[in-house]
Structures are given as C-alpha cells and as structure tokens.
Structure 1
C-alpha cells in the first residue's frame, strides 16, 4: 500500500513568518499604502500571493493585487540575495520526523503557496531536496484551499485519497485536504489557531512536532 504524507511549508516545515511579513510590508510601502499589522499578514500565510492580497485589500482592483504580488516577489528576492533576511529555520524536530516517516515507508510531498524557486531554495538550504517525491506550488496551481495541489501530488505519487494525509498549519490546508478526500492533520505550531484548524475540518491537531508520526498511523 502506498502511503503519502504531504506537508505545507511555511508554518509547518519552516518558520518563515518574519520574512513573509517584511516582504509584504515592502510591497505595501511601494504601493504607498499603510502596511497591515503582522497579525493580519500571518493570517493569510498559505494563500497564493494574489489571493493573499485580495484578503488584505478586499476593495482594491485585481490589477493592483497582481502588481503588489509582483512587488512582493521582487522584495522577497532582493532581501534574500542582499542577506537582509532572517534565517527560515526548520521547526525543531521536523528533520527527525521526515526521517522517521521515510523509514516507516511513507512517501513525502509538499503542497505550498510558495513559488517553485522559493520552495527549491528552502529545501536545498536544509538538505531536504531529495526527501520528497512530489512538490506542488502556487506557480502551477490555483491557491489553496482549491484541492488542485493535493490532487496532483496524489496522482504523481500514485496514492489514493484514503492513503494520503495533508499536514498543515492553516485552515486552508484543512479545507483543501477535505476537498481532495484526504486526511487532514493540523499542526499547532504554525500561524492559525487550533480552533481555525478544527473549523476547517482537521481530523486531529498535533500539539508538538514529535507527535506527528503516531497521528499518521
């Protein structure tokens, strides 16, 4: 039997909130708009950029959302290449969990609102590029919670919904999992509250990283 565990990236594998907030603040600065509070920015982590900006600026035109999304990407790349960004560390214990799941025979994947380039950078930086059999990003799919990313991951890995678990820190991940027919595993160390995860359809919520393998059995 094929067993597939698909991870979200930001807020699940890595703690990237400082860099996401800083790049979003720069995008708002370029648009000559006051930046939203960081609590609001963290709430949209997991969405693709245009959808995230639609949530932050619901009254703005679509073209403005697209322009600010491009400014965000430029700011993120500029900050990263200049060395101005903070490290995006793996959450404590994630590397060990990935090792454990592989040893137990799980196939692993990622479904993220990041770009291909952003995800590749993170995985290479942490030495995880060869751990995942399927990588799905915002470059090739509609934004979460549309199930497109997860459906593609299952097809690429040869797994059925019943054999698949989606692991994420936001309600968007949970709704996506349910829409794809997969198990929804929330994590409590990310950017949405446990109540958001439960309301999004989480079958269970891991309160710590080390608890994940047992919840997947």
Structure 2
C-alpha cells in the first residue's frame, strides 16, 4: 500500500532565511517616514510573521490609517533597496542545513512542499530566485492574497491546492503566529528555536527543533513513520 500524500508548509523569515538585519533597517525607515522613533530590535522581531498592514497599527496604534499606509510603503521600498544593494544571499541568507533539508524532503515522492509567509508575492519570488529554490514549493501562499497570520487562510488554501488531508500536513515556523495558524487550520506545527520567537512562545508546537537535521525525524514522529 502506498504512503499517503503529505505536505510540509514552511514559514520563510526566521525559519528558512535570516533576514532580521534588513527587517530592522526597513522598519526603522518606516518609522522615520512618519517622524516616529523606531522600537528596539526585540519588539520589531516579535511581530515578524504578521502582515505589514497588521504590524503598523499594532506598533503605532495612535496614528491614522493614512500614516500606517505610508509606513507600509516606506518599509517595502527600504526592504527592496537593501536587498538590491546586498543581494539575496547576503541580505536573507538561508539558515544552516535549510537547503539540504528542502532537497531531501523534495526527493521523497509522497511529500510536497509549500510556503506560507507574510512576504509579498514580489518578495517571495525574489527570494526563491536568489536562492535557486525554483520548483521546490508546489503551493506558495503570500500576504497579498490572505488575511494576516494567525488566520488559517494560507494553510487552508495550501491544503486545497494539494488535496492533502490536514492530518497529513505540518507547518514549520519560528513564531507563535505560525503555530496558532496551524492549529486554526487543524494542522500540526513544528517550531524552530533559531528564529525570532523564543521557545516559550512556541508552546503550541507538536515539537520544537534546534537544527534542520532534526526536521525529518520530527516529521516521521508526527506521521508515525517507522524509524
């Protein structure tokens, strides 16, 4: 009997790539665009994963919708400029072991890979191109077309795209938003400890791993695959 079709959905920032330098710099530019002092690094990284139109009101609730919109555009412009000047590999480097893990999972016939990210379509396309990840992700969910995490829309669409049963799908992410999104969609989550939320905020994860080398065993344990 053949194995059931399975789906692994990855968050991007803080999970596959470390883009914190550009995120902090772009957020600083966004705050400067409305003459506000930027928050500290920990505060900025604490909201990574949410969509920009949710982040700005959360960080500066007293400002108008128009000011928040200016911040979003300033952030996007700064981020694109930073990435263009440094290149994707330097601006958003893959975490150690990420590429090998992706390629290894992609080689398993019954396993499909997907992405669910707060990035825009343009941002994800640039990252996939820059790291030569073309063809790895059969379903790609971005902020342009969905409510912000932790709403389950991205995961539900990925399941619909692939026809995979929720019990055979896993979300891999570094934030509480990823784990909450997974739970809301009836999918289990694996938290990664190297990202932007500490382990205490990943309490909703089925497992938390400390290196990409631990991902395959964690998936096998969730799916009940014999060792």
TM bucket normalised to smaller: over 0.9
Of stretches 5-14 and 119-128 in structure 1, the one that deviates more from structure 2 is: 119-128
Q: Answer yes or no: is the 8 Å Cα contact 2:117–2:142 preserved in 1.
A: yes
Unpaired stretches in structure 2, ≥5 consecutive residues: 221-227
Paired residue for 1:135?
140
Query: Which of the pair has more CA radius of gyration?
Result: 2
TM-score, normalised to structure 2's length?
Answer: 0.91
Paired residue for 1:103?
107
TM-score, normalised to structure 1's length?
Answer: 0.95
Paired residue for 1:149?
154
Q: Which runs of 4+ in 1 moved over 6 A?
A: none
Q: Distance in 1 between matches of 2:18 and 2:133?
A: 15
Paired residue for 1:205?
208
Q: Distance in 1 between matches of 2:87 and 2:108?
A: 39
CA root-mean-square deviation:
1.3
- By how many angstroms is 1:129 displaced? 1.8
Q: Distance in 2 between matches of 1:70 and 1:160?
A: 37
- By how many angstroms is 1:62 displaced? 2.6
Q: Answer yes or no: is the 8 Å Cα contact 1:120–1:129 preserved in 2.
A: no
- By how many angstroms is 1:59 displaced? 2.5
SS at match of 1:139: helix
Equivalenced residue count is 215
SS at match of 2:144: coil
Q: Distance in 2 between matches of 1:127 and 1:103?
A: 16
Structure 2 residue 94 is the aligned partner of structure 1 residue 90: yes
